[in-house]
Amino acid sequence: EDQVTQSPEALRLQEGESSSLNCSYTVSGLRGLFWYRQDPGKGPEFLFTLYSAGEEKEKERLKATLTKKESFLHITAPKPEDSATYLCAVSSNTGNQFYFGTGTSLTVIP
């Protein structure tokens, strides 16, 4: 069964303190792995798509990487405005839906 597990559930960082969020997945034929950011009271906002192991994508202080079993979202020198819930999702070659993890709630303290 396709599934996604994210860890940790919550993370508190001091401003400037780098860290990583983990997304472990099980899928029968990965079509794509997606990272989204969700702010309170809003819908998820797309960040990255990764398609194959070894692929990396960067955007400002965020960098996403992918292996055959997991993906990491690295946050370098975070700022308070990076505080949000980060969601990971996968889509498979055999299905027509996305499977989402329950997210990591990130709080960056000034």
Strands 10-14 and 104-109: parallel
Contact 90, 33 (CB under 8 A): yes
Euclidean distance between CA atoms 61 and 86, whole angstroms: 14
Looking up tokens 């960067």 gives 58
Binding mask 32-71 for other proteins (x = CB under 8 A): x-x-x----xxxxxx--x-x--------------------
Euclidean distance between CA atoms 24 and 5, whole angstroms: 5
CB 24 to other proteins: min, Å: 14
Window of 16-24, 58-66, 68-76, 92-100 that interacts with other proteins by CB under 8 A: 92-100
Window of 16-24, 31-39, 53-61, 64-72 that interacts with other proteins by CB under 8 A: 31-39
- How many residues make contact with other proteins (CB under 8 A)? 24
CB 65 to other proteins: min, Å: 19
According to CB under 8 A, which one of 87, 104, 106, 108 is a site residue for other proteins?
A: 87
Backbone φ and ψ for 82, nearest 5 degrees, come out as -85, -5
Euclidean distance between CA atoms 47 and 9, whole angstroms: 19
CB 45 to other proteins: min, Å: 7
